[in-house]
Structure 1
C-alpha cells in the first residue's frame, strides 16, 4: 500500500535544525553525513536536507513496495518525473511533479542499499 511516510525539509544548517526539533519535541535523529539527518522508526519520519541540491520546498515522500511500477503509474497518470530513480542509504527513490505543480518523492525501502 502506498502512503506518505516521510517528509523532507530543506535546511541551511542541519545540526542547528536537528537540535531544534530534538529539543522542541524530543525527536531522535540519525545523521547520514554532514548534510542530512533524519528521524527513523516513526509513523511518518522527518528528513533534514542541507545538501547543495536540496529542493527549496517541503517534499512529501510516498513509500511503495515496487518503485518501477510506481514510476510507470505516475507517468501514466500524467505526472512529470523531475528526478529519475537514484539510490540513497536505505533504498531508492524518484521525484515527480503532479498536474497541479506539486513535487513529491516516491521511495522503496531497501535496507542495506547504498
Structure 2
C-alpha cells in the first residue's frame, strides 16, 4: 500500500444498525462489524467505517491516511506545525494516531506495521 494516500474515511453515528440499514438499502454498501461500537463498509468506492458515538456529531468525517512508519510521519507532522490530537493507539488490524493540520482539520494516519 502506498504511503501518504487517503486510504479510509470514518464517520460517526448514534445508531449503527440504522446507519447500516440506510446505506445498504440506498447504495448497496456491505458492512463488517468489529465489536458493538464499530462497523466498516465496503462496495462504496472507498473503504471506511462508522464509529458509534452518543456525542453530538460536530465533525462528521475523519479522513484516514496510510503510512508504514507512524513514528516517522508523526514527527514530520509536528515539525510542520501539525498537532497530535490522539496519540498512537492499537486497534484490530493495526495502529493509528490523529492530528490537527494548520487549518484546524482533524485527520488520522494508520499503519498495519
Q: TM-score, normalised by structure 1?
A: 0.86
**Does the 8 Å CA contact 2:67/2:73 hold for their aligned counterparts?**
yes
Q: Normalized per residue, which structure has more strand? A: 2
Deviation >3 Å, runs of 4+: 40-43, 51-56
* C-alpha deviation, 1:19, in angstroms: 1.6
Q: Deviations over 1:33-92 (max 9, x none)?
A: 111000258762121000458974111110111111111111111100000000000000
Structure 1 distance, partners of 2:27, 2:41, is 12
**Gapped regions of structure 1 (runs ≥ 5):** none
TM-score by length of 2: 0.87
Gaps in structure 2 of 5+ consecutive residues: none
**Corresponding residue for 1:47?**
49
Alignment check: 8 A CA contact 1:2 1:65 kept: no
- C-alpha distance in 2, partners of 1:68/1:46? 23
- When the two structures are aligned, how many residues end up with a matched partner? 110
